[in-house]
Amino acid sequence: MIDVLAIVGPTASGKTALSLELASRLDGEIINGDSMQVYKEMSIGTAKIEPAEMRGIPHHLLDIKEPEEPFSVAEYQTLVREKIAEISSRGKLPIIVGGSGLYVQAVLFDYRFTEEQVDEQLRAELHAELEEYGPLHMHEKLMALNPEADIHPNNTRRVIRAIEIIKSGHEKTDRKLALSPMYNEVIIGLDMQREILYDRINRRVDDMVARGLLDEVQQLRERGIRDVQSIQAIGYREIYAYLDGEMEWAEAISLLKQNSRKYAKRQFTYFRNKLPIFWIDALADLEKNIQKIEAFMQEKNRQRRIGIIEEQI
């Protein structure tokens, strides 16, 4: 049987609707797969599902951190693997849903952390920054810290490690991603034409503003929350810049939309390069997509049974 189902895709691609339908049909429980939806008081800007929309389906790892607390990939890996075991023990199907590819990858595959660690908050901030801004931004950050660093911009791993060493003063650390999966997993990816996705993203931002994004960010700012990992998220740093007088409102919203579109593009690149995904058309008929997913899961189970039998022979 499938141990874990994951649903990934860029922002505004329809992951929530699909996950609710699959969880309802497959007797599943949903685990948050978004690195920013773990934070309390940050619901509008992270497009967090509202309790009234959950259809009675349990959702895990939402609102588990205060906005000023750090959150790392290593901590997420531990928490989610515990949740997978807990949900499975009840005979339910764990379904991870989100757009943070690195986090999902660290759970489903043999992604190991060395004993020697750099500052966890620094590490989490750098990886969140990489996922949202991209490799070129991180290389420029390194050059500002050490103009003599001889590392190619595309060598993201070395760039990140170099920044960690400079900013933390620690020795080098390493992570190893093994190819072997930790579970009999199925990863579903939602795809759509970029022009349509970008239009959906723009409209989502407008909806966030209408629902009170400014008030949400103002409340965080009034609490004195700044220069922490959570506020690096798209939708928060742009509004902070507006509230700090660094740009006009229209400019902040335009930048928020632009950054969201760029992030979606990087999400697609990460998913396609790093994860074995079964892609479906996000705009296709929901019922047909459900049938395709169920057929794919059945075929993977069949292949697994054949593999087990061959090992026993």
Residues forming the annotated binding site for substrate? 11-16
Q: Which residues are annotated as a binding site for ATP?
A: 9-16
Tell me the torsion sign for CA atoms 36, 39, 45, 46: positive
Measured CA distances, 127 to 135, 234, 288, 311 (Å):
10, 14, 36, 39
**Residue listed under structure tokens 């997420």:** 76
CA angle 285–288–293, rounded 5-degree value:
125
Please enumerate in sequence order all residues whose Cβ is within 8 A of that of 305, keeping only pairs 6 or more positions apart, or say none. none
Please enumerate in sequence order all residues whose Cβ is within 8 A of that of 188, keeping only pairs 6 or more positions apart, or say none. 5, 6, 7, 8, 18, 277, 278, 279, 280, 293
Is residue 98 classed as helix, strand or coil in its secondary structure?
Answer: strand
Encoded amino acid at 33, one letter: G
Ramachandran class of 90: left when φ > 0, alpha when ψ lies in -120 to 50, beta otherwise: alpha
Please enumerate in sequence order all residues whose Cβ is within 8 A of that of 16, keeping only pairs 6 or more positions apart, or say none. 49, 53, 97
Q: What is the side-by-side strand order in the sheet with 185-191? A: 59-60, 28-32, 93-98, 4-8, 185-191, 278-281
Q: What are phi and psi of 280, to 5 degrees?
A: -130, 160
Please enumerate in sequence order all residues whose Cβ is within 8 A of that of 243, keeping only pairs 6 or more positions apart, or say none. 217, 218, 221
CA 83 vs. chain centroid, Å, equals 17
Encoded amino acid at 159, one letter: V
Dist. CA 131–CA 157, nearest whole Å: 12
